Amino acid sequence: MKLQQLEYVIAIAQEGSITAAAKKLYQAQPNISIALKELESEIGMQIFWRTPNGMVLTPEGEDFLLRAKEIVESMHSLEADYSNRADDTVSLRIESTISSYLAAAVGIWVNSFADTDKIGIHLAETVTNKIIEDVSGGRADIGIIRIPSSQLGVYAEQLKSRKLSCRTVTEYTMKLLMRADNPLAKYDDVPFEELENCVQILHGDDELSVFGKNCVNPEYPDDTQNRLLYVYDRGSKIGLMNTLKNAFMWVSPVPKNAFPDGGVVVKKCSYANIRMRDLVVCKKSNENNRLIKEFIEFLAGFVEKAIGTEEE
């Protein structure tokens, strides 16, 4: 039995098919099929039923999956704790939802190290559920997730069940990012109906209706915007913003000095009434890890100084 085989079982169970699991793991489908058959033969048990609708866990497979997850998570955690000690590299794997302040914080934090320090920081943007899964499984050391404040209790229970600790980094309502010469920039509080004829820039992985209703306003109409620009490369968003005079984006907190030239501004829109909360999460067993603890404290201080607090 190999660790990779266990990872294949977990991916198949999560994705519902070998094809989807292969895509997620960047593996060839035949390799996963062969590995699964070899594993089932080795343990003398069928883990999945092959059905027209995909792969379904057998009752024995359900129990096997739970034990496989425990083993894989323990191995990833062990690897994370000890893989970089030999060369004294400062190594940290951070995952977050889309946020402008995290990149700025990481940059300033890295600048605080001596020129002779060996540094290996991994910074990735993804979605909340994957962040929770990766931190719990030891594939990330720290995660910054974004949730509606009203769902804090639900997520707190989920994090507790996965033996994760959490701390609020900031709480806010979404704002509008636009060029300073955008006609809407004249408003201190932009009327929502004025957005209708502007170009909205949003990440291509998000459905507008889902994002709007979950992060802006529960009554966000599905057909409000008829001019949408889906961007799959997050780094291109600001470039497009600089090009399109009447474009806007819904954004989370932005550091006060993020746009020193004044070409881009952040504006309030009272229509955004859902209180959002960014939480930093890590495994409870890593709470006292010096590097993790140091970064979390630094991030909290950076957000307080660079963004401040938002009153309801």
For all residues of the chain together, what is the average pLDDT?
A: 85
Same domain, residue pair 186 and 126:
no
Same domain, residue pair 45 and 101:
no
The conformation of residue 193, written as its DSSP 8-state character, comes to G
pLDDT at 86: 47
- Whichever domain contains 147, its CATH number is 3.40.190.10
Domain-located, residue 263: yes
**Of 55, 82, 109, at which residue does a domain stop?**
82
3-state secondary structure 220-235: CCCCCCCCEEEECCHH
For helices 290-306 and 100-111, angle between their N-to-C axes, nearest 10 degrees: 120
Domain-located, residue 44: yes
Domain-located, residue 272: no
Same domain, residue pair 78 and 207:
no
Same domain, residue pair 181 and 232:
yes
- Whichever domain contains 225, its CATH number is 3.40.190
Percent of the chain, pLDDT > 90? 44
Domain-located, residue 274: no
Angle at the Cα of 203 (from 266 to 174), degrees rounded to 5? 35
pLDDT at 207: 52
Same domain, residue pair 287 and 153:
yes
Q: Answer for the pair 174, 272: CB distance below 8 angstroms, yes or no.
A: yes
pLDDT at 312: 42
Same domain, residue pair 181 and 242:
yes
pLDDT at 212: 85
- What's the token pair of residue 66? 């739970």
Mean of pLDDT values over 94-119: 84
Total domains, the chain: 3
pLDDT at 35: 92
d(CA 50, CA 154): 34
Same domain, residue pair 248 and 292:
no
Find residue 154's DSSP bridge partners: none
Q: What is the dihedral of CA 108, 112, 113, 119, to 10 degrees?
A: -10
Helical spans, DSSP H, in the chain:
3-15, 18-25, 29-43, 59-82, 100-111, 128-136, 152-161, 208-211, 237-243, 290-306
Same domain, residue pair 183 and 257:
yes
pLDDT at 182: 93
- Whichever domain contains 19, its CATH number is 1.10.10.10
Domain-located, residue 208: yes
Q: What is the dihedral of CA 129, 300, 289, 165, to 10 degrees?
A: -40
Give the pairing type, strands 276-283 and 264-267: unpaired
The conformation of residue 168, written as its DSSP 8-state character, comes to E
> Which range of residues forms the domain containing residue 50?
3-82
pLDDT at 230: 80
- What's the token pair of residue 249? 């984006």
Domain-located, residue 302: yes
Domain-located, residue 204: yes
pLDDT at 286: 87
Mean of pLDDT values over 67-80: 78
Q: Answer for the pair 215, 148: CB distance below 8 angstroms, yes or no.
A: yes
Same domain, residue pair 134 and 258:
no
Tens-place pLDDT, residues 138-179: 889 999 999 999 999 999 999 999 899 999 999 999 999 999
Percentages (nearest 5) of helix, strand, coil residues in the chain: 45, 25, 30
Tell me which residue has tokens 């893989």.
83
Same domain, residue pair 69 and 29:
yes
d(CA 121, CA 216): 32
Domain-located, residue 192: yes
**Of 31, 58, 82, at which residue does a domain stop?**
82
**Of 82, 115, 141, at which residue does a domain stop?**
82
Same domain, residue pair 285 and 161:
yes
Asked which of 44-53, 99-108, 202-211 is least confident by mean pLDDT, the reply is 202-211
Who has greater pLDDT, 209 or 146? 146
Same domain, residue pair 39 and 98:
no
